Amino acid sequence: MEEPLLDHESSSLSEATGRRSLFSDAGLFSNITFSWMGPLLDLGKRKTLDLHDVPFLDDSDSVHGITPKFKSKIASISATGQYTDVTTVKLVKSLVLTTWKLIIITAVYALIRTVTSYVGPYLIEHFVDYLNQSTRSTKRGYLLVLAFVAAQLMEGLSSRHLLFRSQQLGLRVHSALIAIIYQKGLALSSQSKQGSSSGELINVVNIDAERVGDFNWSLHELWLLPVQISLAMIILYSTLGLASFAALAACVLTMLANIPLGRIEQNYQEKTMNAKDARMSAMSEILQNMHILKLHGWELVFLSKIKEIRKVEMNWVKKYVYTSSMLISVFFCAPAFVAMITFGTCIIIGIPLETGKVLSALATFRQLQGPIHSLPDAISSIIQTKVSLDRICSFLCLEELASDAVTKLPSGSTDISIKVRNGSFSWQKFSQVPTLQDLDLCVQQGTRVAICGTVGSGKSSLLSCILGEIPKLSGEVQTCGTIACVSQSPWIQSGTIEENIRFGTQMNRERYKNVLEACCLNNDLDILPLGDQTIIGERGINLSGGQKQRIQIARALYQDADIFLFDDPFSAVDARTGLHLFKECLLEFLASKTVIYVTHHVEFLPSADLILVMRDGKITQSGDYTEILKSGEDLLELVASHKDALSTLDMLERPIENFESTYHPGGNESNLFIAGDKKDQNEEGDIQNGQLVQEEEREKGRVGFIVYWKYIMMAYNGALVPLILLAQIIFQVLQIGCNFWMAWAAPISENVNPPISSLQMVNVYFALAIVSSLCIFIRSHLLVMTGCKTANILFENMHNCIFRAPMSFFDSTPSGRILNRASTDQSTVDTRIFDLMGYLLFPAIEILGTVILMSHVAWQVFIVFVPIITASLWYQQYYIDAARELQRLVGVCRSPVLQHFSESMAGSNIIRCFQKERQFIRYIGYLVDNLSRPSLYNAAAMEWLCFRLDMLSSFVFSFTLILLVSSPSALIDPKTAGLAVTYGLSLNMLQGWAIAVLCSLENRMISVERMLQYTTIPSEPPLTISERQPNRQWPTKGEIKFLNLHVRYAPQLPFVLKGLTCTLLGGKKTGIVGRTGGGKSTLIQALFRIVDPCIGQVFIDGTDICTIGLHDLRTRLSIIPQDPVMFEGTLRTNIDPLGEYSDEKIWEALDSCHLGDEVRKNELKLDSTVTERGKNWSTGQRQLVCLGRVILKRRKILVLDEATSSVDPITDSLIQKTLKKP
């Protein structure tokens, strides 16, 4: 799904609008029965629901409605009013104070449900006694029926509204947490961001915030536990006397036995989350740099790393689910265990076991099954929620940017734009050597300042200190007016080009037109099929480096700020475009503004009013161009290394046609190859319907049978499924048999002789219970085995296909979509689906047994039950179409939240500089509300269905009771009738459970469906072709021949390269030049087979590269990309990812790329830490590491894609000398 990028229309959607949701405007009867959901369900029956079909939220449920209240509560509780001192207790207190009304409402519903659920077990003894009377009072019988039915209706009604309100409560908590986490993320200091991987941040938003929201389901379990036990004890004491205390002891013993299992489960859950953090962090980094991995042929190496992390994760997942299965087994076995202890005590102390008492006790034990299981479950949920709350608090307590780092004055209040006095700054607060020191700087308004220096001298850090991004150790920084900046590494959002340029500012057509002209973007927009409405892929993936840079510059110019900061803005564009940008943007468009620009291009220095020369974090020289040349050596050295720059200026003034004849195949050692001036389509991506990024794949209609079949058959070819079914069936038949045995064997009253002794009765019950318990343990173990195996296979298949997918897939698929499948969907498959499949059979068999019992007592029930089942299925079918699509929308709407969060964290410094925090916060609110809408209405749809099923099952139950009361006593067996009523009490719950599990399973199976989608991604050509494998020395010469080469990015698009024929001789150095977007990158793509030729061939040393495997090709070539990439780990793992070379060779390579001395200064040397995306290394240093990689490989063919654009002229000169060495 593509949403508008920070425009005013979209951002305003998250603000208070006075909107009221469907249920807020519904009448009393409609609210009670959930009839207000009817129109949406009817629409879902007639068409496939889309997000615009889903009604809006109430303002009170929206992010804008809940977040201000939450923030005010945090501020009132926190000592400083800030997030940095928020503890878990304070956070919980704030959440409770924010949502207290809903908490009270749900508590009332929960209490009503609990009390009414024990009415039936209490009445059973009286009902059996009534049926056993020879002369019965009809009035008393109908009063009993009324009490049964009223209690059941109240229980069902309170359950429905409890669950819906709980979902509403959970969504409010989830929305509030995401909002403050996002706001905190925008304010994080650089040091905090380095200490938190992207995987951790994604999991905090995607898993921890959701888990805290989901705690609403366990919110009332603890305080209701004593209420439930007290009610049960009252009933048991009234029927069994002192034996009730044995039942209490058995319950407590069962609960205590569960507690250590719950603690173990919680420990495993923590370990699982830590492993998931590591996997998601690695996956996020890989997806962002997949293009580099493909070029180097490293994708399978990094895939193996992901699989290794997954092994660790899966080890904890297995332990977690096995422990959970033990708890579930205890849940199912608990009633039988408590019954054995209680009935055994009755025999020992001489309490007679009569049918009415036994059935009342059995019904009570079935009710106690809930609290017996819920205590460890609730404790486990509390512990899991606490873990998530702790993680959220840890994130909220991270250090923020110092608010007093920069004194910001309003525009026009002084004629000094920037002042730095005696400033010392360091990226590492406790570093002994500051990054910047002894800074004194005063920039008058309207001054043009140039900053130059060698790699790592502190140029970018100086701009960061002006923005307040680098921690200040001492001194004072002052700015006057608004600031716009252009970073060295372009930060582009997913959205249209226009939206990226406007960046949330109102459209001014005249200014917009002037900005496009100044930034040379009109030609590019003319080429694109939708012009400035073309959607840019994630991180600008479908744009060239120069296009991204020019869009960045356009974004800054459009803001009309007072101060403009440019961090080496010309490194990513060709010389001709760079000159145009410098003249049109910096000299003319911003003539009256304060401009500070970092540059390695010496030819742009004379135009500066003030030049700052930096070395080792200090300003060593300052003055105008003439003064600097006279006063020191630093600038002279830079100019000397760039001695031909001035002559290049003259050359650039000549028309490019003059260069057409400068390339001669087979000519001089150094060749100049001019790329075409225009391209027919965007050269970096597969565009469909004029757009690169398409809406997320979404299946329509019900989840197909083939999805279920694939899931069931995936593990062990389905061999364990029959055994699981058999164990489940035997367990439940024996469970029903246990109760039937007790009802049959117990005497109807004291005056009746029992068919067998009490001891025999209990012994048989004990034997049946033991066998049934064994069956449920076997079933749980086999189910977990199957589920874990299936989850692993799905993980392997999906990731294999993702890593083997062509680059066009990654260009058109935002990483949020892939990460959503790798995190949320994978977690669902890991822990939820096999559980639901196991649960599905339980209510089905129980319902069948209940119907048989009821029909046995009163055959007319069967006649009524047939249309009731038909009506239930009709309701389910009516519901499922809308619910299925709502669940799919939840999955689809989650991806933009993750993507926007990830993008915002990567570009938080830009957002802060442009002071767009409020707009971005509003936009995340808009996205979260889009996620909450289908979630809330999906929950309402479920309760709409369950309410109607409750009414139908209550009708069957009341019909049965009326038949029993009105039928002659001679036709009724009180024992069987009592047992039928015992099971009939659960009919509401069972039928609702069956449909809920069925619908929930289908909703969860969407995760399998989404993962299976990614197992059918078309793959790249084979990595190796055994019969066409080149020898180990290939290529020996490095000659490249293009023959009639035609390349395009999709069959429906025009050719980008058209009939290119030329030969690049081996051992020669060939330059490829041309304007931005001229096809240079496409030529490299074709050489590495990122995109294959449509027509023509490419030969390397006489071998057609399309006839050999991709890895055989890519691993024999070397490339230094335009955007330098480093991966989290160490310097060693970055320069030698495959671990092929010795330390000696690595040091030689580092010395060759002039990075060795810098690395030796670090105590860790080759094991120097590299944080995520190499952010603790400067752009120039990252580029040198990339150079070191190729020097280490020493391939015959080396491709440099503007490889020295981010380094100073001195380093550039040294690199050129290195590359010229044989």
- Token readout for 793 is 């296979």
SS3 call for 767: helix
Q: According to the model, what pLDDT value does residue 273 have?
A: 82
543, containing H or E segment: none
Q: According to the model, what pLDDT value does residue 794 have?
A: 93
pLDDT at 368 over 50: yes
Q: Average pLDDT for residues 958-973, to the nearest whole number?
A: 80
Give me the percent of the chain exceeding a pLDDT of 70.
87
Give all domains of the chain, ordered by start, each with its CATH number.
45-237+859-966 (no CATH), 407-646 (3.40.50.300), 1116-1221 (3.40.50.300)
| DSSP-H helix ranges across 423-496 | 459-467
- With contact defined as beta carbons under 8 Å apart, do 442 and 499 qualify? no
Q: Average pLDDT for residues 972-976, to the nearest whole number?
A: 78
- Token readout for 532 is 């400035």
Contacts of 668 (CB under 8 A, 6+ apart): 1068
- Token readout for 390 is 């702790």
Provide φ and ψ at 1202, rounded to 5°.
50, 45
Q: For residue 424, with 0-12 CB atoms within 10 Å meaning exposed, 13-18 middle and 19 or more buried, which class applies?
A: middle
- With contact defined as beta carbons under 8 Å apart, do 955 and 868 qualify? yes
- Residue given tokens 């989350």 in the structure block: 273
Q: According to the model, what pLDDT value does residue 1206 have?
A: 55
pLDDT for 150-184, tens place per residue? 998 999 899 999 999 999 999 999 999 999 889 88
Cis peptide, bond prior to residue 1035, ω within 30 of zero: yes
- Per-residue pLDDT band for 537 (boundaries 50, 70, 90) equals low
Residues 997-1018 as b or e (16 or more Cβ within 10 Å = b): bbbbbbbbbbbbbbbbbbbebe
DSSP assignment of 826-870: HHHHHHTHHHHHHHHHHHHHHHHHHHHHHHHH-THHHHHHHHHHH
Q: According to the model, what pLDDT value does residue 539 have?
A: 65
Q: For residue 87, with 0-12 CB atoms within 10 Å meaning exposed, 13-18 middle and 19 or more buried, which class applies?
A: middle
- With contact defined as beta carbons under 8 Å apart, do 665 and 1040 qualify? no
326-340, 368-382, 556-570, 1111-1125 — which is least confidently predicted? Answer: 368-382
pTM for the model stands at: 0.73
- Per-residue pLDDT band for 801 (boundaries 50, 70, 90) equals very high
Single-letter amino acid code for the residue at 1108: I
Give the separation between CA 632 and CA 907, rounded to whole angstroms: 37
Give the separation between CA 1126 and CA 744, rounded to whole angstroms: 75
- Per-residue pLDDT band for 111 (boundaries 50, 70, 90) equals very high
pLDDT for 640-653, tens place per residue? 555 544 444 344 34
Q: Beta partners for 1046?
A: 1095
Residue 1045, sorted as left (phi over 0), alpha (psi -120 to 50) or beta, turns out to be: beta
- With contact defined as beta carbons under 8 Å apart, do 129 and 73 qualify? no
Contacts of 993 (CB under 8 A, 6+ apart): 839, 842, 843
Provide φ and ψ at 386, rounded to 5°.
-65, -40
Closest of 422, 499, 501, 469 to residue 567, by C-alpha: 469
Give the separation between CA 615 and CA 749, rounded to whole angstroms: 101
pLDDT for 839-870, tens place per residue? 777 788 888 887 887 787 777 877 888 888 88
Q: According to the model, what pLDDT value does residue 679 have?
A: 38
Q: According to the model, what pLDDT value does residue 770 have?
A: 87
pLDDT at 698 over 60: no
Q: According to the model, what pLDDT value does residue 670 have?
A: 42
Q: According to the model, what pLDDT value does residue 631 have?
A: 67
281-295, 564-578, 592-606 — which is least confidently predicted? Answer: 564-578
pLDDT for 879-928, tens place per residue? 888 888 898 888 788 878 888 888 888 888 899 999 898 999 999 999 99
Single-letter amino acid code for the residue at 252: V
Give the separation between CA 1125 and CA 1203, rounded to whole angstroms: 12
Interstrand relation of 1095-1100 and 1040-1047 (parallel, antiparallel or unpaired): antiparallel
Closest of 846, 712, 790, 770 to residue 321, by C-alpha: 790
pLDDT for 134-145, tens place per residue? 777 888 888 998
Interstrand relation of 610-615 and 618-623 (parallel, antiparallel or unpaired): antiparallel
Query: Number of C-alpha atoms within 13 angstroms, CB side, residue 895?
Result: 25
- Per-residue pLDDT band for 78 (boundaries 50, 70, 90) equals confident
Give the separation between CA 274 and CA 264, rounded to whole angstroms: 16
182, containing H or E segment: helix 138-187
198-207, 293-302, 833-842, 879-888 — which is least confidently predicted? Answer: 198-207
pLDDT for 327-338, tens place per residue? 777 777 777 888
Give the separation between CA 291 and CA 806, rounded to whole angstroms: 10
C-alpha distances (whole Å) from 565 to each of 449, 593, 594, 649 are 10, 11, 9, 24
